[in-house]
Amino acid sequence: MITTTTPMEGAILKLPCLRSVSRNSNFTNRSSNSFPWRYRRLHISASAASASAPLAEGPKLGPGSLGHITRSDFPILHQEINGLKLVYLDNAATSQKPTAVIKALQNYYEAYNSNVHRGIHYLSAKATDEYESARQKVANFIHAAEAREIIFTRNATEAINLVAYSWGLSNLKPGDEIITTIAEHHSAIVPWQIVAQKTGAVLRFVNLTEDEVPDVGQLRDFLSRSTKLLVMHHVSNMLASVLPMDEVISWAHDVGAKVIVDACQSVPHMVVDVKNLDTDFLVGSSHKMCGPTGVGFLYGKSEILSGMPPFLGGGEMIADVYLDHSTYAEPPSRFEAGTPAIGEAIGLGAAIDYLSEIGMQQIHDYEMELGNYLYDRLSSVSDVRIYGPAPSRTVKRAALCSFNVKDVHPTDIATFLDQQHGVAIRSGHHCAQPLHRHLGISASARASLHFYNTKDDVDRFIDALKDTINFFTSFK
Which residues are catalytically annotated? 431
Question: Are the beta carbons of 215 and 242 closer than 8 angstroms?
Answer: no
CA dihedral 240, 246, 251, 256 (to 10 degrees): 110
Please state, in angstroms and rounded to a whole number, the distance separating the CA atoms of residues 423 and 188: 30
Look at residues 58, 48, 42, 103 and name the one whose alpha carbon lies nearest to residue 372: 58
Look at residues 270, 300, 263 and name the one whose alpha carbon lies nearest to residue 285: 263
Burial class (CB in 10 A: 0-12, 13-18, 19+), 45: middle
Look at residues 383, 351, 369 and name the one whose alpha carbon lies nearest to residue 73: 351
Contacts of 200 (CB under 8 A, 6+ apart): 172, 173, 174, 175, 176
Gap between the terminal Cα atoms of the chain: 18
What element of type H or E holds 130? helix 122-141
What phi, psi does 463 have (nearest 5°)? -60, -40
Please state, in angstroms and rounded to a whole number, the distance separating the CA atoms of residues 320 and 33: 22
Asked if residue 332 has a cis previous peptide bond (ω within 30° of 0), the answer is: yes
Please state, in angstroms and rounded to a whole number, the distance separating the CA atoms of residues 200 and 204: 13
Burial class (CB in 10 A: 0-12, 13-18, 19+), 281: buried
Question: Are the beta carbons of 305 and 281 closer than 8 angstroms?
Answer: no
Give the C-alpha distances (Å, rounded to integers) separating 373 from 313, 364, 397, 398.
49, 14, 11, 12
The pairing of beta strand 12-15 with beta strand 426-428: unpaired
